[in-house]
Structure 1
């Protein structure tokens, strides 16, 4: 009985400390940074993928709910993609392009690509998204001007453009889904400064949908996005 009473008192004291130590205010700000992107899924081992770097940035609005919890809405421009090589395999068969996929490159590149022949060199897939994350945020109680936080939630991605790059030249890439859904999980800290606060955070996002708009098959590997972002920003409080 004494242990149960002690446990209840400890829990009550903790929640009282949390509610009194962190004042969650509404905030409006901007942020930006870099991301390391790649893909995973069945069949992606055939592509011998490697990560690519991309920019991510935009605006966000944090809505205080109840200390120390808040919801953060973001609107971000996000550059995603990956690099890959396809040794001894037809590129069009592995990646999912039709054999009549048209490129305006030089004749050697164009003919090899349209025939689905493997080519030496590294390909880069670049995809630009409009991302709308909805993040549930927990501000960890501390004393002082710095407050660490954790967050997680869904992110809705809308494809703006996609390119395939080879040997310094690029062309529009087909075969990508126009919508993506991912789950970002991250942490960071914010420091009070002037009328607002500086914010730094890092997140890992795991894509839940195949970025290819083709059905799963041996010829169309499942390619889900995964990325790691580091961003910094500033928000005004109100």
Structure 2
């Protein structure tokens, strides 16, 4: 993993050094987040948010590479519980301009799970150990850019694999003063992140 990150860093630096034009920016926006998958039942979408920074590396007049570094909150809501999933997302997007204002972007996204909190009437639980640390997703969207550097866009991201991870559940019982603890392996449900994002960005 460290070698892969180092390789990506050198590759990114090579792109920046040879780019026709490189711009930096910040962005923030709304997440319309939900969970899908074969085990999803009675789960509703929820509104969350994302924010971060970007680098746009121009290759030609109409073609560029755009890595982004995003703090993004996802999850779902239901009648019983609400789940907040906080990720550090790294999308690496290929960006194609159809005109000076309108562009299409598409590419892979790797997310690192920072926290996973499940809230109910009984309180709040940390369920990070029930989820995978990394979430591989695909992203695609459209963006409208103004001459001032301000832009607005929409994006859809979805997990390629389930974000659930098998875990152990402990059950403790006491009979006649003797305490017994039984560990049970629990198979992870088939859950996948899906997010529709609306955002504003500013490049400088």
Separation in 2 of the partners of 1:168 and 1:73? 41
The alpha-carbon deviation at position 131 of structure 1 amounts to: 0.2
Determine the structure 1 residue equivalent to 2:65.
71
Question: In the TM superposition, what whole-angstrom CA distance separates every residue of 1:19-69 from its partner, at most 9, and x where no partner exists?
Answer: xxxxx732100000110111111121xx31110111101000000011200
Question: In the TM superposition, what whole-angstrom CA distance separates every residue of 1:124-159 from its partner, at most 9, and x where no partner exists?
Answer: 1111000000000011125xxxx1110100000000
User: What SS is found at the alignment partner of 1:162?
Assistant: strand
Determine the structure 2 residue equivalent to 1:235.
203
Q: Does 1:209 align with 2:161?
A: yes
Determine the structure 2 residue equivalent to 1:131.
89
Q: Which residue of 151, 168, 171 corresponds with 2:105?
A: 151
The alpha-carbon deviation at position 219 of structure 1 amounts to: 5.5
- More strand per residue: 1 or 2? 2
- Provide the TM-score with structure 2 as the length reference: 0.77
Determine the structure 1 residue equivalent to 2:146.
191
Work out whether residues 165 and 187 of structure 2, in 8 Å CA contact, stay in contact via their aligned partners in 1.
no
- Provide the TM-score with structure 1 as the length reference: 0.66
Separation in 2 of the partners of 1:125 and 1:214? 18
Q: Does 1:56 align with 2:50?
A: yes
Q: Identify unmatched segments of 5+ residues in structure 1.
A: 1-23, 85-120
Separation in 1 of the partners of 2:113 and 2:49? 15
User: What SS is found at the alignment partner of 2:21?
Assistant: coil
- More helix per residue: 1 or 2? 1
Q: Identify unmatched segments of 5+ residues in structure 2.
A: 1-19, 168-185
The alpha-carbon deviation at position 168 of structure 1 amounts to: 8.0
Runs of 4+ in 1 over 6 A off after TM superposition: none
Q: Which residue of 191, 198, 204 corresponds with 1:223?
A: 191
User: What SS is found at the alignment partner of 1:153?
Assistant: strand
Determine the structure 2 residue equivalent to 1:175.
130
Work out whether residues 165 and 188 of structure 2, in 8 Å CA contact, stay in contact via their aligned partners in 1.
no
Q: How many residues align?
A: 167
